Structure 1
Amino acid sequence: MILTVTPNPSLDRTYEVPALERGEVLRATGERVDPGGKGVNVSRAVAAAGHRTLAIVPLGGAPGALVAELLARQEIPVAPVRLGGHTRSNIAVAEPDGTLTKINAPGPRLTPGESEALLAAVGTHAPDADWVACCGSLPQGLAPAWYADLVTRVHGHGSRTALDTSGPSLPAALRGRPDVIKPNAQELAEAVGRPLATVGDALKAADELRAAGAGAVLASLGADGQLLVSDTGTWYGHAPVSVVRSDVGAGDASLAGFLAAGGRGPEALAAAVAHGAAAVRLPGSQMPTPADLDPSAVTVTTDVPLDRALSA
């Protein structure tokens, strides 16, 4: 069972438009409304793959009620933590060439009592989980070290942790020694404080994060594939994608595939790549089902293309 924790969930609205023209009235050709937030997306992808999951989410106001309703329609079990504030609403505008413009709201400010209630909910459910995926930005009111506290508590219950966050929260959380972290190329660069030009640069950055406390690093490099760096080896995975509709939630789908496949070794990396490639072919933040996957298109190798330039 994969338990997910999303401290700052969202109600995600995605509009497909012929072109994004600043200052003009745009006519959408498609629209989706989805429950959002990285951990929520991981739960949605895990459920779509036919595995057990439980999503712990702080919810408040009408947007929070709609998030809960949408998750219920998808038959995803939820452990809600009630907030006095309102769950945030995010907007994404998708163009036909795959360009995505996102507007993410900051979200509510959690009180100390709400923060502790969130940690208590994790403590209640973590003993039943194989993995606890701690995902997304921290809302106002939670210090960067909050994830480190969460990881430490989860380990105290005997469960493994996967962390997907960015900014100051990522290096702060490494003190808790998460079992795996899942940064993208930009987050890797930010964490080590320098630009990354090649896959080799990304590999070196992943090694540094492992030295700082991460057990393993699953690095999403977008069109340039994915890296898995762990104590048992280093692997590179890639799958061609001819048409990109939306990359919203693609990294979350990758993490879900990785954890559902055991969260370890080349087989789990192959599942991560297959799920990520399937997700970008779908509209909005729709999560792939087994029918959307093409495992035969995935290549996983120990021969890492160190000189391959990372896409801008």
Structure 2
Amino acid sequence: MSERANIATITLNPAIDQTVQIPGFAAGEVNRIAEQQSDAGGKGVNVASFLSHFGHKIAVTGFLGQDNASIFESLFDAQGIDDQFVRVAGATRVNIKIVDPQKQEITDINAPGFAVDTGAMESLEGRIKHLAADGVDCFVLAGSLPAGVPTTIYRDLIIAIHAMGKEAVLDASGMAFKAALEAGPDIIKPNVDELSELIGRKLEGLAEIIDAARWVSGGKVGLIVVSMGADGALFITDKDVLHAMPKGAVVKSTVGAGDAMVAGLLHGRSEGLPLADLARLATGFSLGALGEIGPHLPAREVIEAFAAKVVIEHLEL
């Protein structure tokens, strides 16, 4: 691998994921924690960590609260990730994940995050230009937005990234996702609920989901991946539609499963895999994350074993 990063992730609203395991969790009752852990997280941070796990040299940028940055810095140091985060005043948010292994339920309690000013925004733009000049070819824009950031920021960043001749991968939701589609990101990975939100109604059946994905992308997106939980994922290009169906998933935590799929996509593309093999590998990455507590992946051979069991169905356009 090159010593210089060729992939960078942009995480505007990272989080410390505090995962607590509470067997038989009951709202409104006294609950006792069996196990707990804290992990540096946020969608782009998770993607970077997963790619590093597979041997890629990765850079990370975005905004990071200076008051509790040490857990992120420890992760980046341990994994050799190039830390290009802009430090901002205050603390990075803490999100709580309550895992009930008895009921196999996960409850998310997400905090809003810090506020960002125009000076930090300008610093971020400078970091992105520096990374592009230093060899980064692909930027992953992922996650929610902190206060003070316009909903058009992903759109504007994608336009700037394309102007530098680089690729943009988008994993976002809501108004930020909708606005960003105008810029034609190269890859998008909504889940079916995020796609339904954009359409304004619940999508039923594969045909509706495929039509909605094509409609929202407006023909500007090279690869659309729609994750559908236990129903697998759709991989949609202008020529093909594949349905990847997972087998043998053991769900311990959903934290990072979508981010693992993005990492699997990028790893597969770096290997030059055809679409069907890319779909298998990306789904295998996601299955691997589902079997871990917190945003982590199992060993490479475990992921490859999951990928080998994924069933691929070619759907008619």
TM-score of the alignment, normalized to the shorter chain, above 0.5 = yes
Q: Aligned to 2:234, what secondary structure does the other structure show? A: strand
Corresponding residue of 2:172:
165
Corresponding residue of 1:182:
189
The change in CA–CA distance for 1:221 and 1:53 in structure 2 (over 3 A counts) is same
* Pick aligned residue for 1:203 from 191, 205, 210: 210
Q: Aligned to 1:231, what secondary structure does the other structure show? A: coil
Fraction of identical pairs, as percent: 34
Corresponding residue of 1:18:
23
Cα offsets for 1:27-65 (capped at 9, x unmatched): 222222111100000001111112221111311233223
Structure 2 unmatched ranges of 5 or more: 1-5
TM-aligned CA deviation for residue 299 of structure 1:
1.6
Q: Does 1:119 align with 2:125?
A: yes
* Pick aligned residue for 1:7 from 2, 8, 12: 12
- Contact 2:67–2:90 (Cα < 8 Å) also in 1: no
* Pick aligned residue for 2:69 from 61, 64, 80: 64
The CA distance in 1 between the partners of 2:277 and 2:136, in whole Å, is 21
Corresponding residue of 2:312:
300
Q: Indicate the larger mover: 122-131 or 151-160.
A: 122-131
The CA distance in 2 between the partners of 1:102 and 1:150, in whole Å, is 29
TM-aligned CA deviation for residue 242 of structure 1:
4.1
Q: Does 1:76 align with 2:81?
A: yes
The TM-score normalised by the length of structure 1 is: 0.93
Corresponding residue of 1:310:
none
The TM-score normalised by the length of structure 2 is: 0.91
- Contact 2:184–2:217 (Cα < 8 Å) also in 1: no
* Pick aligned residue for 1:251 from 258, 265, 284: 258
Q: Aligned to 1:170, what secondary structure does the other structure show? A: helix
Corresponding residue of 2:295:
285
TM-aligned CA deviation for residue 200 of structure 1:
1.9
Q: Aligned to 1:243, what secondary structure does the other structure show? A: coil
Corresponding residue of 1:276:
286
Q: Aligned to 1:286, what secondary structure does the other structure show? A: coil
The change in CA–CA distance for 1:76 and 1:221 in structure 2 (over 3 A counts) is same
Q: Indicate the larger mover: 174-183 or 27-36.
A: 27-36
- Contact 1:249–1:287 (Cα < 8 Å) also in 2: no
- How many residue pairs get matched? 305
The CA distance in 1 between the partners of 2:168 and 2:132, in whole Å, is 10
Q: What is the RMSD computed on CA atoms of the aligned residues?
A: 1.7
Q: Aligned to 1:237, what secondary structure does the other structure show? A: strand
Q: Aligned to 2:69, what secondary structure does the other structure show? A: helix
The change in CA–CA distance for 1:62 and 1:132 in structure 2 (over 3 A counts) is same
- Contact 2:14–2:45 (Cα < 8 Å) also in 1: yes
